[in-house]
Amino acid sequence: AQAIWLKAPSMVAVVAPGSSPMEEGAPEAGSGGGSHTPWREHDWNAILAGSGTADRYFARPGLVRKDRLSTFAPPSHHPLTAVLRSFEELKAALQALAAQDLAIEKEDRAVRFVLKQAHSSNASGIRFISHADACAVLGTGGGEAAAAPAARAPWRLVRPRALAAPGLAACVAALASACLCKTSYASKRFALSATVLVTTLSLAVLREGGLGTTADPVALPSAGMTLEQSAVVADLRNLLKPTGSGGLEKATVWVLQRYVEPWLHDGRKFHLRVLFLCVGDLRAYAHEDVRVLLATEPFEAGERDGSCLLAHVTNMGVSRESPAYHEGSQNLPLAALGEAMARRVFGQVVEVLGATVAQVRAAGRRHFFTTPNCWELFGADFLVEATSERVVLLEINPSPSLAMYGSGSDLRAQLCGLNPLETILPSWHEVPLRT
């Protein structure tokens, strides 16, 4: 198996207690282009008994959950993956995945890892972690609530004994916290820079007002950790902090993956969106119109800056948030990579999808519950690795956005046909299911 399962008893279950199959994958934003019936509105008792049809399957967590997909995708065409639920497990995962990086200097800012939710779409909550940031995380000590010893803290934010404006310290702390928690992709880099600036200014204010004897730390870096690294660590702690009363078992599941060095087109990172059709019990098809979706900013802008999300995130919904987005140059056909490369890439895509689906199906219905009277459209995302030109399967999305193919209420029918159970349009290429 490609996934590294860290210690957490609930993580061996395929479907978490209390969950239902329709929750095993989030639809993409803007996933219109035609009507399809929501999972809950199907009469599944009748459909599973063979009466009627459905344009989705009863359950397919092995495909659409990132933590499950890692178990079934071909290891040579999927990033090395660790599954985690907490900051402490992130440290263990980084330790496991960074074993080959021991010879790299700790100050190296190159992005090495990607952290994302197992059950999400549209790059929600995604983080890109550099080698230096990973070293900073590994250098933190204690549990979630542990305070670092004073000897390890060259400075810390504290409440002063007296200030001309008594609420100033609280305002500074709140502003710094708000900057850390900012999630808008276009402003992520600003948020991190603002945190550093606000913290620096607050230090000056507090020093002028006099340092108090009791502390409420906002950021407490270890010795040798830069202010920016401290902000990254604080952001990751906050991101992975369990919420609610369920504890670790009910915490959000995340995957940490090795960053794939991307093939660039015109100096920009891109991913491939492949429409993937599963029909009945079971045939699979890939649509011939594979889209090349480019990042908004050049890759060199984010190669050593994980907070420059517009250089790393190639999701069309995210890219469109930027005023600099230009669809004509960021949404291209596969042929834009060159005829020979397009043929090689499409051949690999078909092979990888076939091997993945065959493995998921062989694992049983709790991973992919297929029936003769159901079909479903998925969106598979691939990267092309720079050094090897191999395709790397990142994820498979249910209810995929069709915005990169056009608009209109009949777009889905144009792409899939009225009923794929009866007729497969010639634009679809069969995917052999081979283990």
CATH value at residue 410? 3.30.470
Overall domain count for the chain: 3
- Point out the residues of the chain with pLDDT beneath 50: 1, 7-23, 142-220
Rounded-to-integer distance, Cα 65 and Cα 117, Å: 9
pLDDT at residue number 152: 28
Task: Tell me the C-alpha distance between 86 and 256, whole Å.
Answer: 11
Is 177 a domain residue? yes
Domain range for 197 is: 155-220
Identify the burial level of 214 via C-beta atoms within 10 angstroms of its C-beta, where 0-12 means exposed, 13-18 middle and 19 or more buried: exposed
How do residues 96-128 score in pLDDT, each as one tens digit? Answer: 887 777 667 777 889 999 999 998 877 888 999
In a domain, 123, yes or no: yes
pLDDT at 329: 95
Q: Are residues 124 and 170 in the same domain?
A: no
Q: Is residue 212 part of a domain?
A: yes
Q: How far apart, in Å, are the Cα atoms of 4 and each of 97, 155, 254? A: 9, 37, 12
* Crossing angle (nearest 10°) for helices 227-239 and 168-181: 70
Give the pLDDT of residue 174. 41
pLDDT of residue 375: 98
Q: What is residue 309's DSSP assignment?
A: H
Q: Looking at the structure, do residues 300 and 389 belong to the same domain, yes or no?
A: yes
Instruction: Find, among 391, 396, 291, the residue nearest to 347 by Cα.
Output: 391
At 225 the pLDDT is 76
Q: Judge whether 31 lies within some domain.
A: yes
Together in a domain, 254 and 130: yes
- Distance between CA atoms of 65 and 70, rounded to whole angstroms? 9
In a shared domain, residues 144 and 168: no
Residue 71 lies in a domain: no
Give strand pairing partners of 380: 274, 396
For residue 13, give the nearest of 59, 66, 68 by alpha carbon: 68
Q: Do 140 and 284 have their domain in common?
A: no
Quick one: how many helices (H) and strands (E) in the chain? 13, 13
Q: Are residues 235 and 127 in the same domain?
A: yes
Alpha-carbon gap, residue 270 to 332, rounded angstroms: 10
Answer whether 222's CB lies under 8 Å from 152's CB.
yes
d(CA 113, CA 257): 6
Cβ burial of 249 (10 Å; 0-12, 13-18, 19+) is middle
Residues 276 and 389 in one domain: yes
Give Cα 43 distance to the centre of its chain: 32
Antiparallel, parallel or unpaired: β 291-294 and 375-384: unpaired
Listed residue (84, 212, 237, 85) closest to 148, CA to CA: 237
Partners of 398 in the β-ladder: 378
Q: Are 295 and 269 in contact (CB under 8 A)?
A: yes
Task: Give me the residue label for tokens 């948030």.
Answer: 321
Q: Quick one: 126 and 32 in the same domain?
A: no
- Determine the pLDDT at residue 24: 52
- Is 297 in the same domain as 380? yes
- 2 within a domain of the structure (yes/no): no
Answer yes or no: do 135 and 162 share one domain: no
**Which residues lie below 8 Å from residue 228, measured CB to CB, with a gap of 6+?**
192, 196
Q: Is residue 12 part of a domain?
A: no
Count of other CB atoms within 10 angstroms of residue 320: 15
Q: Give the CB-side neighbour count of residue 302, counting CA atoms within 13 A.
A: 27
Tell me if 332 is assigned to some domain.
yes
**Coil, strand, or helix at residue 337?**
helix
Same domain for 209 and 336, yes or no, is no
- Looking at the structure, tell me whether residues 133 and 250 fall in a common domain: yes
Q: Output the CA torsion 276→426→331→257 (10° steps).
A: 20
CA distance 117 to 329: 29
Q: Tell me the HSE value of 333 on the side-chain side, using a 13 A CA sphere.
A: 8
